[in-house]
Amino acid sequence: MAGRIVVTGSAGMLGATLVQRLVQTGQDVLGVDLRPREGQGAAGDIRDTPRMAELMAGASAVVHTASALPSYPEPEIHDVIVNGTRSVLDAARQAGVPRVVHISSTAVYGLPELVPTPEDHLREPYDAYGRAKTAAEEIAEKFRADGLCVPIIRPKTFLGPGRMGLFAMLFEWAEQGHGFPLLGKGGARIQMLAIEDLVAAIECVLAAPESVAGDTYNIAAAEFGTLREDFQAVLDAAGHGKRLRSLPARPALGVLRLLGRTGLSPVYDRLLYKLLADSYVSIDKARERLGFQPQLSNRDAILAAYAWWREHAGPPAPGGRTSRDAWKQGALSFAKVFF
């Protein structure tokens, strides 16, 4: 795409990876973040519409990756995701930007029983994060109806170099020679996504004609196994001969929910319930309309994230403010002695 591309949330895992890829392909890119990395991009709060409009002047497209994590307090989730999205779209309209790629989430579906879940499935969000993502999509759809080209991308949980959060707990336990618990038998098929494939999908909607780009697309891996199979791959890579251990699902769920609500565990409710049942979406529309072809499986993505963690991991960050931070494990840090 000719002209400058503005990427919000450029210091985050997705934003930084996207900026790097676009620069490598010869694009003129401006990264924007509340706290940009030194010498990389411009400082700006997505909720500051005049500032965002100033930064977007002359841009040919905006990719809105800035977001909040499900672990944030509910008012902050709403403010960043909903108000931030409205501000970005308002700023783009003021600056005359013709295309804004909105990065949403499959969390808008909630906990759907229909799998694979298609894009026209009802949005039935389960938690504050899903509700905020749904409200942000509704705002994006209004701008689309008013004539702005707004591709909406709904990725599954994406993994790759730099991804931390709760995955860092699995990586740490595996590296230290511990096994890992599973709720139930671990037979649920949980689809994820490699960061490289998500970036490729964004490139597809940036390059596609408006009639194709201005739509909503699920983006996820085509190859994925059960949770037991994909997590066991990490334990195998660690080389200690450890195995995953099943826990009775309902009692373990009750304990983890209690720990989460008392601040003693970073694991949030939607994640717990999502791990108990099949969770995967249809990517047929992205394949047919965008030509999207995911290259990496769940296992590829999780092992790439683990390999990166082995070389780069630092101490847990207070509060786990970004997807690049390893979250403090709270009471769960004591549980690993049993595995």
Question: Mean pLDDT for the chain?
Answer: 87
Report whether pLDDT(35) > 60.
yes
Do 30 and 141 sit in the same domain of this protein?
yes
pLDDT of residue 9: 97
User: Residues 316-338: what's their mean pLDDT?
Assistant: 49
Do 22 and 96 sit in the same domain of this protein?
yes
* Percentage above 90 pLDDT, the chain: 68
pLDDT of residue 42: 96
pLDDT of residue 255: 56
Helix ranges (H only) for the chain are 13-24, 49-56, 74-78, 84-95, 128-145, 167-175, 195-207, 210-213, 227-238, 249-261, 269-274, 284-285, 298-312, 332-335
Do 146 and 165 sit in the same domain of this protein?
no
Question: Is residue 214 domain-resident?
Answer: no
Do 118 and 182 sit in the same domain of this protein?
no
Range of the domain at 174: 161-191+223-279+296-338
Chain centroid, CA 128 distance in Å: 15
Do 16 and 110 sit in the same domain of this protein?
yes
- Residue 314: give its domain's CATH number: 3.90.25
pLDDT of residue 55: 98
Q: Which of 126, 150, 174 is the last residue of a domain?
A: 150
CA-based Rg of the chain, rounded to a whole angstrom? 20
Burial environment of residue 189 by CB neighbours within 10 A (0 to 12, 13 to 18, 19 or more): middle
Question: Is residue 155 domain-resident?
Answer: no
pLDDT (tens digit, 9 = 90+) per residue, 173-200? 899 999 988 877 788 899 999 999 999 9
Do 128 and 165 sit in the same domain of this protein?
no
pLDDT of residue 256: 54
12-to-9, 18, 77, 198, 325 alpha-carbon distances in Å: 6, 10, 16, 14, 10
Residue 248 dihedral angles phi and psi, to the nearest 5°: -55, 125
* Percentage above 70 pLDDT, the chain: 83
Token pair recorded at residue 116: 């694979």
Report whether pLDDT(102) > 60.
yes
Distance CA 88, CA 318 (A): 28
Q: Which of 88, 122, 150 is the last residue of a domain?
A: 150
User: Residues 30-44: what's their mean pLDDT?
Assistant: 90
Question: Is residue 36 domain-resident?
Answer: yes
Report whether pLDDT(270) > 60.
no
User: For 241, left (φ over 0), alpha (ψ -120 to 50), or beta?
Assistant: left
Question: Is residue 176 domain-resident?
Answer: yes
- Residue 9: give its domain's CATH number: 3.40.50.720
pLDDT of residue 271: 58
- Number of domains comprising the chain: 2
First to last CA, the chain: 51
Do 140 and 171 sit in the same domain of this protein?
no
pLDDT of residue 334: 47
Token pair recorded at residue 120: 């026209």
pLDDT of residue 169: 81
- At position 124, the amino acid (one-letter code) is E
pLDDT of residue 107: 95
User: Residues 304-330: what's their mean pLDDT?
Assistant: 63
The pTM of this model reads 0.89
Q: Which of 150, 172, 203 is the last residue of a domain?
A: 150
What is the four-CA torsion angle of 42, 167, 183, 238, rounded to 10 degrees? 170
pLDDT (tens digit, 9 = 90+) per residue, 214-269? 999 999 999 999 989 999 999 999 999 999 888 776 665 555 555 456 554 455 55
Do 140 and 166 sit in the same domain of this protein?
no
DSSP assignment of 291-308 equals: -------HHHHHHHHHHH
Do 265 and 131 sit in the same domain of this protein?
no
Report whether pLDDT(319) > 50.
no
pLDDT of residue 253: 59
- 100 contacts 89 by C-beta, under 8 angstroms: yes
Report whether pLDDT(321) > 60.
no
Question: Is residue 232 domain-resident?
Answer: yes
Do 117 and 23 sit in the same domain of this protein?
yes
Question: Is residue 200 domain-resident?
Answer: no
Do 61 and 183 sit in the same domain of this protein?
no
Do 123 and 172 sit in the same domain of this protein?
no
Sign of CA dihedral 1, 11, 295, 107: negative
Distance CA 192, CA 281 (A): 10
pLDDT of residue 320: 45
pLDDT (tens digit, 9 = 90+) per residue, 136-165? 999 999 999 999 999 999 999 999 887 767
Which of 54, 286, 257, 114 is CA-nearest to residue 193?
286
Burial environment of residue 19 by CB neighbours within 10 A (0 to 12, 13 to 18, 19 or more): buried
Sign of CA dihedral 88, 90, 91, 97: positive
